[in-house]
Amino acid sequence: MHKIEKLFDINIVLMTLFSSLETIREEKDIELIYDMEATIPKELRGDSDVLLRVLSKVLTFVCQNTDKKEIVLSLDAPEDFVYEEFISFTIKDTHIEKDKILEFLDANINYELKILEGKIVYENDADIHLDLPFKISELGHRRHYRLPDISMLGKKVLLICENETIAHSIEKMFKYFLYDVDVGFDAFKAQGNDLTPYDILIVDDHLNTEEFEHIIARIQQNIPLKYVLLKDAHIVESKTISVTTNLVKPVTEESVYELIISLFKNQTGRREVRSHSKMNIVDLENVLQVNKDHEMPVNQSSKIQESLESMIEKRRGLELPILDKAIGEANTKNMGLSYTHELKNFLDTFERSDLYFREIVQEKSIHKMKEFCIDLERHAKLIGAESLFRLAETLSLIFVYDKLDMLPIYPGKYHIELEKLIEEIKKELQMK
């Protein structure tokens, strides 16, 4: 029997496998997850068609007979993949009787195993364990993915995914590139609920909300945060406010590699130094779509109110300049803009906006208020209007914590801050 040794990409085999099982996965509502160790080469030599046939048979059998809603296919290989090594394909916790599994394997994949020169491993705690030998594509080619530019190294990731298995799998893939990864709400809380240190935020699509996108859009004005949604393959694209791109399931080492390149391809050749002087605090567990079907207990709502009022009180005590010319000129110069032009633009846009703000607060038009606050923050920050920018940040906190009953006092506060700023801007323009 002639053994075929053609070059193939293991990721393409896995993606094809995922697609071929789509019907039965959807019928039984099963999540198929790939758990790939960093030792798996991207390119191999062997018979990819027969490999696909074996995996398809095995996973079809498992899907047909399991009562689990989550199936994990794990791939592992020796640390030193020198020339030809066994790759282990294992599936655990299928809830299928061991005798039934062995009977199926003996009857249905022996022919393919002979072609591949592989074997069934019986003395293992996995329900299914196949060892299949493949050759590496190039001798001495040990590290299988290399990022093309130094600017793509040293990133920090926050991953919010309710499925712990998927989260663990994605975490390992990012760590392959030596990325620092925090997983889950508890890890984020340990960082003080501060998004400032992170380069990438990955969130389950079903947890995302329009409100949260507005929050991220505000934060992206302060830090270059890449917001990525973890999506099912069949989810239709929708218009988003702050999402940079999507990471589509099933996640493989290849898709993480491509994600990193797509996020940072325009920053090659330079290392970005970010300022940690200002924190970007968000209570992710509160603002994401987590357990929203359950009404918040009264005492918890009271604690949130107290926390918010405390944060606002701290901000109130800060003495900030009405118009910091040095900051404004630096901001506009970095963006290739004219400071004078942006001051005039602010006047044209916001000179009578206190009347509009009062009107939308009275109307309780949430969407208009959110849009207004995001726009106000962006323009105030650009020209160095530090005091008004802080007020806009406070308004955003009120939306984050859903304490809209605190809003009625702010049209008056905004009117006073706006008048002071307009006076300073007009003085600055007269000096030109």
Tens-place pLDDT, residues 132-150: 999 987 655 555 688 888 8
Q: What are phi and psi of 231, to 5 degrees?
A: -125, 150
The residues that bridge with 35 in the sheet, in sequence order, are 74
The residues that bridge with 202 in the sheet, in sequence order, are 159, 228
Confidence of residue 79 (pLDDT cuts 50, 70, 90): confident
Predicted local distance difference test score (pLDDT) of residue 96? 95
Q: Look at residue 127 and tell me whether its pLDDT is greater than 80.
A: yes
Average pLDDT over every residue of 55-80: 94
User: Is 1.20.140.10 the CATH number for 150-285?
Assistant: no
Whole-angstrom distance, CA of residue 230 vs CA of residue 6: 33
What top-level class would CATH report for the domain 6-136? alpha beta
Tens-place pLDDT, residues 87-123: 999 999 999 999 999 999 999 999 999 999 999 998 7
Whole-angstrom distance, CA of residue 388 vs CA of residue 423: 13
Across 79-83, 96-100, 311-315, 336-340, the highest mean pLDDT is recorded for 96-100
Q: Look at 122 and 157; give whichever has higher pLDDT.
A: 157
Average pLDDT over every residue of 343-354: 93
- Helix 98-108 and helix 48-65, axial crossing angle in degrees, nearest 10: 150
Q: Look at 271 and 381; give whichever has higher pLDDT.
A: 381
Q: What are phi and psi of 230, to 5 degrees?
A: -90, 115
> Which tokens go with 207?
């947890």
Q: Count of alpha carbons within 13 Å of 169, Cβ hemisphere only?
A: 26
Query: Exposed e or buried b for every residue in 321-342, given b needs 16+ CB within 10 A?
Result: ebbbeebbbebbeeeeeebeeb
Predicted local distance difference test score (pLDDT) of residue 232? 86
Whole-angstrom distance, CA of residue 168 vs CA of residue 147: 22
Domain limits, CATH 3.30.565.10, in the chain: 6-136
95: Cβ contacts below 8 Å, ≥ 6 apart: 66, 67, 68
> Which tokens go with 143?
């590290």
Q: Look at residue 252 and tell me whether its pLDDT is greater than 80.
A: yes
Q: How would you classify the pairing of strands 31-36 and 70-76? A: parallel
Whole-angstrom distance, CA of residue 195 vs CA of residue 226: 11
Predicted local distance difference test score (pLDDT) of residue 300? 44
Q: Is the pTM for the entire model greater than 0.85?
A: no
Q: What is the mean pLDDT of the chain?
A: 85
Indicate the range of 16-20, 78-82, 401-405 predicted with least confidence. Answer: 401-405
The CA-atom distances, in angstroms, between 36 and each of 68, 202, 342, 413 are 20, 19, 51, 55
Tens-place pLDDT, residues 284-314: 988 887 654 444 444 444 444 444 555 555 5
Confidence of residue 168 (pLDDT cuts 50, 70, 90): very high
Cα 14 to the chain's mean position, in Å?
22
Domain limits, CATH 3.40.50.2300, in the chain: 150-285
Whole-angstrom distance, CA of residue 149 vs CA of residue 264: 9
Predicted local distance difference test score (pLDDT) of residue 299? 47
Q: Look at 302 and 425; give whichever has higher pLDDT.
A: 425
Tens-place pLDDT, residues 379-389: 898 899 988 98
Tens-place pLDDT, residues 191-201: 889 999 999 99
Q: Look at 302 and 81; give whichever has higher pLDDT.
A: 81
